[in-house]
Every structure is written in C-alpha cells, then in structure tokens.
Amino acid sequence: MAETLEARDKELERMAYTDSLTGFKNKAYLYELGWMEAPIGAELFGMIYLDIDNFKNINDSYGHTLGDDLLVTVSERLRDCIGEDVIVTRFGGDEFVLIVPDDRGLQLTHETIDKLIDTFKTPFFIDERGFFVTVSMGISVSEREGYDFDLMLKAADIAMYQAKESGKNNYMFYDPEMDRKIKRRLLIEMNLRNALDDEEFSLVYQPQILAKSGQVRGFEALIRWNNKELGQVSPLDFIPVAEETGMIEKIGKWVIQSACETIRTINSVNGTDYIMSINVSPVQISNPFFLTDLYEIIQETGIKNEWIEIEITENVFLANVEEVISIILHLTSRGILISLDDFGTGYSSLSYLNKLPIDTLKIDREFIRNLIHDKDDQKMVESIVLLAHKLGIFLVAEGVENQSQVRLLNDFSCDCIQGFYFSKPLQSDALLELIESGNLDSEIKSKY
C-alpha cells in the first residue's frame, strides 16, 4: 500500500512538473530549481531563453492546432539535438528555457547555441507542409557562488528581447548596458504620453536644392522633441516607441498639421510653390483615418495638393502591400507626391519602383558618406540615378556634407540635394525670416 501511495505521489509530482504538450519540464519545475542555491553541480552555468519568432503569425494564419503541432515538432527536434546534461523546460507559449551546466570556457553553452542555430536551419514539416522557423535567444551566465535564479532569468529575458529588437533570428549574451537601454526606453515611453499636450514637439525644415540650378525645391519637415526630463531626444529613439505604442497616430497628425501650416505661410510670402516633404510612418499610413485626416488638413489650411510630398520607407510594404498600394494610388490621384525614403538600406525591392507611382527616390546617406573615395558607392549611386530616370523618378541625395559630393552628384545627374552642406534643418521662424528677407536663395547659391 505504502509503495503504491509513494508511486502515485511520484507520478503526481512528475505530472505537476511536466509540460503536457511537449513532455519537457515546465515552468513550475524551473522555479522549483530556482529555490535551490546552486541547481546543478557545475561551477558555472548558462541559461538560454529561446523564443520562436513570429509564432503569433503562425497561430493566427494557420490556427492554434497547427501551432501546437509545430511546437511538438520543434520540441522533438530540440530533444534530439540537445545533450542529456542540459535541462530543457517549456517556459510557456513558444518560449523555452535551457539550463546548461558548464565550465570556465562556457564550451557547452556555446555548443548548445550552435546546435540550436543548426536545428532551425531546416524547415519543420506538418501535414507535408514545410515551415521555416527562426528563433531569438538571450543568454545569461552565472557562477555557482552568488547565483540568483530570478536575476538570471530576468537577464536572459532582457537579452532575448534585445535579440528580437535587433532583427530577430539572432542570439545575444546579457550585458548590463541592456538594462540602461530598457530603462531609457521606458522613460521615453512615459514622457511621450504627455509630450503633445505639453507642447514639447517642434518641427525643423531642411531645404532640398535642385542640383542643376541651385534653386530651392522645397523642405523636409523633421520632428524635434525637447522633454523636461530627458532633454532633446532624437526621432530615431522616440519614433519607434511611438510606433509600438500607437502614439504615432496623434503625433503624426500633429506633424502633418504643423507642416501644412508652415508651407502655407512660406508659399504665401512670394507666391512660390515650394514642396513640403513629410515623413509618415508605416503604422500611421495603415490607419483608416490617415487619408481623411490628411485631406481635411489640406483643405482647412487651404494649400495645394502639389505642395505636399509624403515620405514613406520600404517598411510600409512589410505590413499589407495591397492596402498600402491603394492608399498611395489615392494620394497620387490627387496630385500629392510620394517619395521613397532611405532607398538602398532596406529591402529595396525593385518591383516596388516599377509597380508603384513613386515620384521621388531618396538615396540613403549611407551611399553618400564615402562617395568621394569609395568607387563601389559611386557605381551604386550612378546606377540608381540611371534606373530612376528610366522609370521617370526624381532623385534626391540625402546627407550631402561637402562640395566635392555635390560636384560628383551633379556629374551623375542626380536631380536634387539635401544635407548639412547647403543647410542644417531650420526652425520655422528662422526659415521664414530667410524667405521674407529674400536671402534663402542667395545664401544657398553662395555655396553652390
């Protein structure tokens, strides 16, 4: 009797610590390990936090049953490739935590990472359908002495998050610098919430110069954020946070409103037709109110559609190509210009250039930076200009910082130039003053 009771207790305990889907140890087991001072005999051990990339998409597109089947298939392969010494637990959903007892050189941890990377190189088959699965991993390391389970788990989780942030399909070892990044991100998010109401945003405007004549074509509106706690925060740091939290919709609408008001004021001084280029983020353009808001603002400010150019990046096509194409077609049917920003750094799919009514292409400043010395960059820029011109697309070079670059770009027949060499982005009152005094063109031409 005692024996069977004992056996039943053991069985119950085993079940309580086992994940029913994959048969691996579960989260409860991992936490139970966490109670122990040093869970494994080794002096040093690594913790690998593994998360399947875009698993939600698989569940959403193919259903949860297939999602579960995929997890089982993935687990079988993990079981085959990971050595006996390594404890594998399913932490929940599509997350696995591996504990690797190791030596000073962290040899086993590195080997395990390599094996994991290899394992996910070949597709997983379910009902004869192949799925390519990629994973992001974060790794933390601890000595037996000073071991703190919670800290290790948190560190591995943070590292995994950073691996995702840097483009997924990737692994990263925890580094205390990551904490600083995450804290700053949180601060940005918190302070961003009140930034619009507290009027902390402003726009600056950078002139774009026609290469042949040296005349100003128009301006690109660039957002600036001056926060009371954080000071000046670069848009490269806060726009991604605004996008992730959905705040970009309101901020983006404010940008459009302000830029439209500025171009009305500027063009009314001398009856000019300067163009205002406005950066629009992918999240913003997919908003059902994007078009109606934009048209309403254009109408209320009384400006011409032709004065507005919407700058998009290739990332917009990652979301929903068909939808984005229909929005772009709508804009161009009204005479609003479309510009493809940062060309050459992202996916640079040539088919977009062909299929879409893009008016302007902005060659990324990566190609301009070393243009004078780098023959390959020269070939790239010259070819992009040729290609664009064949397709009837207007070319703007970004980040032009000196006269030699201007000369070379002119030789390559690039249409338009933007960069610190001609002008840094200007505050609206400074810009207006230059225009009212008639000094804008002369200042720029003096550098031409």
Q: Which residues bind ligand C2E (CB under 6 A)?
A: 206, 222-223, 234-236, 239, 252, 255, 279-281, 311, 341-342, 365, 398-401, 419-420, 425
- Which of 409, 314, 317, 412 shows the shortest CA–CA distance to 365? 409
Interface with Mg ion in residues 380-399 (CB under 5 A): 398
- In angstroms, the CA 415 to CA 402 distance is 17
Q: Does 360 bind Mg ion (CB under 5 A)?
A: no
- In angstroms, the CA 261 to CA 255 distance is 10
Beta bridge partners of 142: 45
Q: Does 279 bind Mg ion (CB under 5 A)?
A: yes
- Of 93-101, 182-190, 281-289, 304-312, the window that binds Mg ion (rule: CB under 5 A) is 304-312
Q: Does 309 bind Mg ion (CB under 5 A)?
A: no
> Which of 157, 243, 249, 311 forms a contact with Mg ion (CB under 5 A)?
311
* Residues 6+ away with beta carbon under 8 Å from 282: 243, 312, 313, 315, 316, 318, 319
Name the minimum Å distance from CB 239 to Mg ion.
11
The partner in contact with residue 377, picked from Mg ion, ligand C2E, none with C-beta cut-offs of 5 to 8 angstroms by kind, is none
Residues 206, 418 contacting (CB under 8 angstroms):
yes
- If DSSP codes are grouped into helix, strand and coil, which group holds residue 71? helix
Name the minimum Å distance from CB 241 to Mg ion.
18
The partner in contact with residue 22, picked from Mg ion, ligand C2E, none with C-beta cut-offs of 5 to 8 angstroms by kind, is none
The partner in contact with residue 415, picked from ligand C2E, Mg ion, none with C-beta cut-offs of 5 to 8 angstroms by kind, is none
Cβ closer to ligand C2E: 97 or 400?
Answer: 400
Task: For residue 43, give the amino acid letter.
Answer: E
Q: Does 142 bind Mg ion (CB under 5 A)?
A: no
Name the minimum Å distance from CB 186 to ligand C2E.
21
Q: Does 314 bind Mg ion (CB under 5 A)?
A: no
Name the minimum Å distance from CB 188 to ligand C2E.
14
Cβ closer to ligand C2E: 42 or 204?
Answer: 204
The partner in contact with residue 420, picked from ligand C2E, Mg ion, none with C-beta cut-offs of 5 to 8 angstroms by kind, is ligand C2E
- Which of 218, 220, 277, 363 shows the shortest CA–CA distance to 353? 363
**Ramachandran angles phi, psi of 221, nearest 5°:** -85, 130
- In angstroms, the CA 420 to CA 398 distance is 9
- In angstroms, the CA 419 to CA 405 distance is 10
Q: Does 342 bind Mg ion (CB under 5 A)?
A: yes
The 8-class DSSP code of residue 14 comes to H
Q: Does 415 bind Mg ion (CB under 5 A)?
A: no
The 8-class DSSP code of residue 205 comes to E
Interface with Mg ion in residues 242-271 (CB under 5 A): none
* Residues 6+ away with beta carbon under 8 Å from 292: none
> What is the distance between the terminal CA atoms of the chain, rounded to a whole angstrom?
98
158, two tokens: 């943070």
- In angstroms, the CA 219 to CA 426 distance is 10
Cβ closer to Mg ion: 193 or 424?
Answer: 424
> Which of 51, 94, 102, 341 forms a contact with Mg ion (CB under 5 A)?
341
The partner in contact with residue 218, picked from ligand C2E, Mg ion, none with C-beta cut-offs of 5 to 8 angstroms by kind, is none
Size of the site for Mg ion (CB under 5 A): 5
- In angstroms, the CA 239 to CA 243 distance is 6
Name the minimum Å distance from CB 368 to ligand C2E.
8
